[in-house]
């Protein structure tokens, strides 16, 4: 029998707990996207159909439509980059599974949220924490018949049986890798073990595959994490280059069948730890990694094409596809009316939908630049890399430096840093009006890492 009910912190006012624990959860980026398509069943509450989960995104790409909460921020670990580390002096709180389940249902009924993202610090040990998460999800699904989206954390080091049981109730699970190398993990999060993280991920993957082989279908029986698994990498807390990070992501997609790798730019949490950088990395770095990740997953690129041992980091001024194209000008210009789909996808300014429209349109006629624009192609960028019926849009021949200048000049300014500052200053996910979840005090804004 769990004895956490005895804990004095459980007596804390519910709103106070919410304030503390939603703030502690706010920088975990791995909650986005559902991918579930389960409909409500008779007598249940909620639905996880794609259209039923309207994700709101903050300007820096974080999901704000889920009830994003920690079970507790009372962590026994001491990860240097995390606000919830045991050595940090901050208010602590602990929810019971019953409280979180009740809150989720109440918030859902009031239309505040459309699902739950449940994470936790390591409270006592991974098994104990995982059991609390499992109990929460069980109460929601069994007692309240909550059918909405649930993303639950898998605690590395927890009993695989507990993770498996939770996975049959959740839509998505994630075990966060956090640091892009074992060396950095040992330095900054000494209690975390690479082996335990990968073991949790393998456990989730093998249960997903097992479920697929047995042909579970959502209509007949809830499958194992039907929306798959994801993970998060912290960017800039350790010295790994974009090349290392992107290669890692590529390997993760290949090895663990991940749905997503999320990148979270490090936010300094302490001024006195020599192991950590003083400044946070530019948010544009996080943005470039997301763009590159997209190229890996949908555009047929691999990490070794985008970066190399010699060129280890993305140009902050240029999107990764344009950077690649400018380094491979011998492949251009591409003739729009002849290039195959894979090559069209590699042209800056041509997205997947535009490439599909081009392929379809040109079966009936040759495309001109005017028609190309109507397919959604961003000619401001594509113009340097394509011809239509042998014609260039640019009158003069430009060298790589001039093209780069023109592309950068054509970009709308990225206002991510400003947006993020704004988001920080007003707080995130204000559930009960501005007086309830107050803006975080300076100095305790931080990412939550593994959680």
Give me the residues that bind ligand SF4 (CB under 6 A), please.
Answer: 75, 77, 79, 82, 84-85, 121-122, 189, 448-451
CB of 133 to ligand SF4, least distance (A): 13
CA distance 205 to 175: 11
Q: CB count, 10 Å around CB of 341?
A: 12
Q: Of 245, 260, 289, 244, which Cα lies nearest the Cα of 416?
A: 289
Cβ(430)–Cβ(217) under 8 Å? Answer: no
- Shortest-Cβ-distance residue relative to ligand SF4: 449
Q: Strands, E, within 3-154: which ranges?
A: 67-70, 115-119, 149-153
Q: Give dist(CA 400, CA 292) in Å, integer.
A: 21
- Least distance to ligand SF4, CB of residue 89, Å: 14
By C-beta, is 121 or 261 nearer to ligand SF4? 121
Burial of 56 from C-beta contacts in 10 A (0-12 / 13-18 / 19+): exposed
Record the tokens describing residue 253, joined without a space.
């997609």
> Does residue 333 have a cis bond before it (omega within 30 degrees)?
yes
Least Cβ distance, residue 185 to ligand SF4 (angstroms): 11
Task: Read off the tokens for 196.
Answer: 């335990």
Q: Least separation, in Å, of the C-beta of 242 and ligand SF4?
A: 22
The CB-of-293 to ligand SF4 minimum distance in angstroms stands at 22
Q: At closest approach, how far in Å is the CB of 447 from ligand SF4?
A: 8
DSSP state of 155: -
Whether the Cβ atoms of residue 451 and residue 84 lie closer than 8 Å to each other = yes
Q: Output the smallest distance, CB 56 to ligand SF4, in A.
A: 25
Q: How far apart are CA 257 and CA 243, in angstroms?
A: 20
Instruction: Number of helices (H) and strands (E) in the chain: give both, helices first.
Output: 16, 8
**To 10 degrees, what angle do helices 160-167 and 194-213 make?**
50
Q: How far apart are CA 428 and CA 18, in angstroms?
A: 13
Nearest distance from C-beta of residue 176 to ligand SF4, angstroms: 8
Q: Distance from first CA to last CA of the chain, Å, rounded?
A: 24
């Amino acid at each position: 029998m769990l004895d956490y009910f005895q804990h004095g912190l459980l007596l804390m006012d519910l709103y106070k707990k919410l304030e503390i624990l939603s703030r502690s959860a706010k920088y975990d980026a791995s909650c986005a996207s559902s991918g579930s398509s389960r409909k409500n069943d008779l007598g249940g509450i909620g639905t996880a159909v794609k259209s039923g989960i309207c994700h709101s995104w903050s300007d820096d790409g974080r999901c704000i439509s889920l009830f994003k909460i920690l079970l507790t921020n009372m962590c026994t670990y001491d990860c240097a980059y995390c606000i919830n580390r045991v050595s940090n002096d901050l208010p602590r709180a602990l929810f019971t599974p019953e409280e979180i389940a009740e809150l989720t249902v109440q918030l859902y009924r009031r239309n505040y949220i459309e699902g739950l993202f449940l994470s936790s610090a390591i409270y006592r040990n991974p098994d104990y924490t995982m059991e609390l998460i499992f109990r929460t999800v069980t109460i929601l699904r069994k007692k309240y018949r909550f059918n909405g989206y649930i993303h639950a954390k898998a605690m590395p080091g927890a009993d695989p049986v507990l993770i498996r049981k939770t996975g049959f109730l959740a839509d998505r699970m994630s075990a966060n890798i956090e640091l892009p190398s074992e060396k950095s993990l040992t330095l900054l999060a000494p209690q975390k073990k690479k082996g335990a993280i990968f073991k949790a991920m393998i456990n989730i993957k093998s249960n997903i595959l097992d479920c697929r082989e047995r042909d579970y279908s959502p209509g007949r029986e809830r499958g194992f994490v039907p929306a798959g698994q994801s993970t998060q990498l912290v960017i800039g807390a350790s010295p790994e280059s974009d090349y290392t990070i992107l290669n890692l992501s590529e390997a993760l997609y290949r090895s663990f069948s991940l749905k997503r790798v999320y990148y979270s730019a490090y936010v300094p949490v302490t001024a006195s730890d020599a192991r950590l950088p003083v400044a946070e990395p530019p948010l544009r770095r996080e943005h470039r990694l997301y763009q590159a990740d997209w190229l890996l997953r949908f555009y047929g690129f691999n990490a070794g094409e985008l970066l190399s041992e010699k060129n280890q980091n993305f140009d902050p001024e240029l999107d990764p596809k344009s950077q690649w194209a400018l380094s491979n000008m011998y492949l251009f210009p591409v003739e729009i009316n002849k290039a195959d789909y894979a090559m069209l996808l590699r042209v800056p300014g041509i997205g997947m939908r535009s490439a599909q429209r081009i392929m379809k349109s040109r079966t009936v006629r040759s495309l001109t630049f005017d028609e190309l624009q109507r397919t959604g192609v961003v000619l401001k960028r594509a113009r340097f890399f394509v011809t239509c019926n042998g014609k260039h849009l640019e009158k003069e021949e430009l060298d790589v430096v001039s093209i780069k200048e023109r592309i950068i000049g054509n970009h709308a300014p990225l206002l991510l840093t400003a947006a993020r500052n704004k988001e920080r200053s007003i707080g995130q996910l204000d559930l009960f009006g501005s007086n309830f979840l107050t803006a975080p005090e300076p100095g305790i804004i931080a990412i939550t890492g593994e959680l």
